[in-house]
Amino acid sequence: MARKGMELGFAPLKVLSEREVRQIQDGTANVLETTGIVVEDPEVIKFMESAGCKADYANNRVRIPQWLITECLDSSPSSYILKARDPEFDVHITSGRNTYFMASCGMGILDFATGQTRDATRKEFYDAIKVLDYLEHVDIQTAFPYWGFERVPQCMRLIESAASKFRVSRKVQEEGSSADEYRWITAMAKALNADVVQIANPVSPLTFFKSFTDRLRYLAENDMPMQFASGPTKGITSPVTVAGAIVSNNAETIASIVLAQLYKKGARSWAGSMMLTPNMLNGLPAFGDIGQGLHDAVFNQVWQAYQIPSTIWSSSWTSSLQLDYQAGYEISMMALINALCAASVIVSFSGFHAQLSAHPAKSIIDNDVVGMIKRFCAGSLVNKETLAIDLINKVGPMPNNFLNTKHTYKHWREECYIPAAANRFSGKVWEEKGSKHALDLALDKMDDILKTYSITPLTDSQEDEIEYILNDARNYYRKNGMISDAEWTEYQKDLNSPNYPYA
């Protein structure tokens, strides 16, 4: 039975009229028919032409007709199961009906001793996955959550990352690829009878590189779910306006869905919003900008009209360099907006500072944020029991009160959310308990999880399969000159560590 997602207790937030949604959809179809997509691989152009697209071989251009767009969107499923290695943690992805929360990532781990980001150790990497497996509001493990860990060659980092998540976590996995790592990641998933959602992103504006189309075809033919999120920057690689940026982004995503459906009808995918809003004063992305929240609200509404699941990344990262008040409000506002819009998947937990940093302690704080969001989005029931009119009349005026009633005892927990990393004491009691702030409490909770939480390891035969696939990838990259002698020597130190594979 699939893990239950968050369901809104009221109608999703809609910021556009139906007419405005149709304008965006019509504009997207116009771009695909008029301008089309640059496709680097001539064989893919020929394949799309055979399906009804217009091919311009001189300019590597493919134009997609409206009828084919409609046909492929109709065959792309609006609802499907993502399999975890433990069926108890399967998730049922839908469009506009329920919401799941996925972990975020950063390039490295924040070192509290120095205040700087650095490569995680193998143990720190595996510990981060362990914390995410423990947290009840994490439904899907993210790609990474760090860009690999130290002593591992670049070409093996994402493959080692996937292996760590399969070894430690029972939950659904997502993973990325920088080259052809997806082949071994797919093999690991199949060995465990699981899915791994793999990131397959076109390039903005309106471009399919051969590496992208090769990956898309491989994943479709191997029945692996895909995320399409081109990640344009407004005003730079897409129009600066919300409507224009979504038209451009959606053209790239719909073209990807068309190609996936041509390779395998019914291929599972979701549309990702990884749009960046720049600060034009300095050219840097403004992570957490409220304009991004508005963009996501429109994006969710448009893709719900297409009946295709959507995933949102704006609550993944912050502009703040530290785990401070700014990081808190940038993450929380984006996550709440997208929950109110009934996004299929919301990415949060762990990551902050411009995709560069992450830490398990933040995951614990984020778990509280998501818990509060879920409580709000559940809504409020109005019935005879909750109105409590008979009880009000029975208790009457002061000095009577409701503290010792069965009604209060029965309902008080469902009326609030009790966070794991927050102070809710008076000043004096707070001082007596060590004057700890939210981050201090999160670090305490992290230590407790790592000491007491027992993971469910792979069986011996499953572990042998994963190690076989890892060795195949290692030998392949070594043979093809992608791992130098110096990297190989350092890698062997990691592979021969006393507590391999966990430390």
- pLDDT single digits (tens) 54-85: 999 999 999 999 999 999 999 999 999 999 99
Average pLDDT (415-421) is 92
Q: How confident is the model at residue 247 (pLDDT cuts 50, 70, 90)?
A: very high
**Is 485 part of a structural domain of the chain?**
no
Same domain (yes/no): 277, 406: no
**Is 443 part of a structural domain of the chain?**
no
DSSP string, 454-503: PP-PPPHHHHHHHHHHHHHHHHHHHHTT-S-HHHHHHHHHHHT-TTTTT-
Same domain (yes/no): 132, 191: yes
Last residue of a domain, one of 413, 429, 460: 413
Same domain (yes/no): 326, 191: yes
Three-class SS of 320-341? CCCCCHHHHHHHHHHHHHHHHC
What pTM, to 2 d.p., does this model score? 0.96
103-127 confidence digits (pLDDT tens): 999 999 999 999 899 999 999 999 9
Same domain (yes/no): 248, 370: yes
Enumerate residues 6+ apart whose C-beta is below 8 A from 503: 121, 122, 123, 126, 497
Same domain (yes/no): 249, 392: no
Neighbouring C-beta atoms of residue 209, cutoff 10 Å: 15
Distance CA(359)–CA(128), nearest Å, equals 7
**Is 211 part of a structural domain of the chain?**
yes
Same domain (yes/no): 201, 314: yes
Work out how many domains the chain is built from and give that number: 2
Same domain (yes/no): 284, 400: no
**Is 84 part of a structural domain of the chain?**
yes
Distance of CA 477 to the CA centre of its chain: 28
| Stretch (H or E) spanning 287 | none
CA distances from 26 to 31, 258, 341, 364 (A): 9, 16, 22, 42
Pairing between β-strand 54-56 and β-strand 61-63 as defined by DSSP bridges:
antiparallel
**pLDDT at 47 exceeding the cut of 90:** yes
Q: Please give the pLDDT value at position 472.
A: 98
Average pLDDT (358-377) is 96
84-104 confidence digits (pLDDT tens): 999 999 999 999 989 999 999
**For residue 128, what are the domain limits?**
73-377
**Is 103 part of a structural domain of the chain?**
yes
**pLDDT at 282 exceeding the cut of 90:** no
Distance CA(317)–CA(353), nearest Å, equals 6
What CATH number did the domain enclosing 108 receive? 3.20.20.480
**pLDDT at 1 exceeding the cut of 80:** no
Average pLDDT (478-483) is 97
Last residue of a domain, one of 377, 402, 426: 377
Same domain (yes/no): 312, 406: no
Distance CA(73)–CA(200), nearest Å, equals 18
Same domain (yes/no): 312, 393: no
**Is 99 part of a structural domain of the chain?**
yes
290-348 confidence digits (pLDDT tens): 999 999 999 999 999 999 999 999 999 899 988 999 999 999 999 999 999 999 999 99
**pLDDT at 355 exceeding the cut of 90:** no
Q: Please give the pLDDT value at position 143.
A: 85
Q: Which amino acid is at 199?
A: I
**Is 154 part of a structural domain of the chain?**
yes
19-32 confidence digits (pLDDT tens): 999 999 999 999 99
Contact 217, 260 (CB under 8 A): no
Q: Please give the pLDDT value at position 499.
A: 94
Same domain (yes/no): 137, 281: yes
Q: Please give the pLDDT value at position 277.
A: 84
Same domain (yes/no): 240, 310: yes
**Is 181 part of a structural domain of the chain?**
yes
Same domain (yes/no): 168, 249: yes
Last residue of a domain, one of 377, 402, 427: 377
